[in-house]
Amino acid sequence: MAAYFSIVLAALTIVSGGIWLTDTILFKPKRKMTLKLAESTKKLTDEAKELIIREPYIVETAHSIFPVIAAVFVLRSFLYEPFQIPSPSMMPTLLNGDFILVEKYAYGLKDPIWRTQLIETGKPSYGDAIVFKYPVDPKIDYIKRVIGLPGDTIIYRNKQLFIQKACLKNATNSSECPKLELIRHTELDKGEFSEQGMPMLRFEEQIFGMKHDILINPRRPEMAQSYYKQQGTNVSEFVVPEENYFVMGDNRDHSSDSRFWGFVPEDNVVGKAVMIWISFEFNRDEKDFLPKWLPTGIRLNRIGKIN
């Protein structure tokens, strides 16, 4: 949907700008010349002058909407784009009903239609919450957290995360490569969040100094049998290819992520989620007179920077 909107917005910008520019270069000078000739033969009223030089309706419309559409197009394509969180996969960091801003220039400027890299400004880092085109269906936008960078080895087993950073390019043997590290987490609370009546555990996790909170459902079994099987690796083990990233949801037992469908190509990355600009509650049930998509409240305490 976001891709289609970008195409429509780009088309409106080009068409309205083209109409305005064509009129400015070709037809506006002709109207001024007509007015000058008319004034040389007789005295004209202000109303008559206005009729001669007035822009056609389509030009007037294009003149009015082009600056607004162009500003929205530039803002949305190269600076910030709004997204809505539609699922609980990033709880507790992001809740269903959060509306976030994604920094489009964080990892490079791309053209909004073909997504060709124009200028490189950076790369995703450990712990970044990124929006990307779902590799299985690029028409869908996903948001997850970066867990592994190109060349890293990721192991997720018994709900424990291990990361071995990629070897440096000048390493001469495996003994010079980083060791496999257990990513430790500290329990914060139990019961604030639940799934089907089951209380979930909340932890603070640190991935090489980057802190964020995660949720684990202790009663839900690990779905290792459904994990993505990478050739040459064991079950629950993943080696991140070059120009790809390994991502996971913060709600570890309720997230479709790299564990199940593989890696995120660098070209699919849209930007970095940086802040919640508004957050709505949706608590209507089927018996409610009003439609379920209408919010029942605003969570003002959630507005702010995303960790």
CA dihedral sign of residues 13, 14, 20, 21: positive
Residue type, 223: M
Catalytic site includes residue 255: no
pLDDT digits (tens, 9 = 90+) for 46-71: 888 899 899 999 999 999 999 999 99
For residues 111 and 36, state if they share a domain. Answer: no
For residues 97 and 208, state if they share a domain. Answer: yes
The average pLDDT across 109-137 equals 92
* Domain boundary, last residue among 41, 58, 79: 79
The whole-number pLDDT of residue 171 equals 67
Q: How far apart are CA 73 and CA 79, in angstroms?
A: 10
Name which of 137-141, 192-196, 212-216, 303-307 the model is least confident about.
192-196
Q: How far apart are CA 258 and CA 247, in angstroms?
A: 5
Closest CA to 178 of 144, 211, 149: 149
pLDDT digits (tens, 9 = 90+) for 101-116: 999 999 998 888 787 8
**How does residue 195 score in pLDDT terms, banded at 50, 70 and 90?**
confident
Q: How far apart are CA 307 and CA 200, in angstroms?
A: 20
For residues 296 and 272, state if they share a domain. Answer: yes
Q: How far is CA 31 from CA 51, 58, 185, 284, in A?
A: 10, 16, 72, 59
The whole-number pLDDT of residue 25 equals 95
For residues 146 and 47, state if they share a domain. Answer: no
DSSP state of 122: -
Instruction: Supply the CATH number for residue 112's domain.
Output: 2.10.109.10
Computed over every residue of the chain, the mean pLDDT equals 92
Q: How far apart are CA 207 and CA 156, in angstroms?
A: 14
Q: How far apart are CA 264 and CA 262, in angstroms?
A: 7
Q: How far apart are CA 77 and CA 71, in angstroms?
A: 10
For residues 290 and 192, state if they share a domain. Answer: yes
DSSP state of 173: S
**How does residue 241 score in pLDDT terms, banded at 50, 70 and 90?**
very high
The whole-number pLDDT of residue 118 equals 87
CA dihedral sign of residues 224, 227, 229, 232: negative
For residues 293 and 264, state if they share a domain. Answer: yes
Q: What percent of the chain has pLDDT over 90?
A: 73
* Domain boundary, last residue among 46, 79, 112: 79
* Domain boundary, last residue among 30, 59, 79: 79
For residues 161 and 20, state if they share a domain. Answer: no
CA angle 125, 307, 303 (to 5 degrees): 140
Q: List residues bridging with 266 in a β-sheet.
A: none
CB under 8 Å to 74, separation ≥6 — which residues? none
The whole-number pLDDT of residue 7 equals 83
The yes-or-no verdict on residue 3 having pLDDT over 80 is no
* Host domain of residue 183: 85-305
For residues 193 and 295, state if they share a domain. Answer: yes
For residues 172 and 94, state if they share a domain. Answer: yes
Residue type, 114: W
Name which of 23-32, 95-104, 188-197, 243-252 the model is least confident about.
188-197
DSSP state of 282: -
Q: What is the pTM of this model?
A: 0.87
For residues 31 and 73, state if they share a domain. Answer: yes
Catalytic site includes residue 159: no
Task: Given the residues 104, 144, 258, 279, select the one marked as catalytic.
Answer: 144
Q: How many domains does the chain have?
A: 2
Task: Given the residues 6, 16, 77, 89, select the one marked as catalytic.
Answer: 89
Q: How far apart are CA 60 and CA 271, in angstroms?
A: 36
The average pLDDT across 71-98 equals 93
3-state secondary structure at position 104? coil
For residues 73 and 195, state if they share a domain. Answer: no
For residues 116 and 62, state if they share a domain. Answer: no
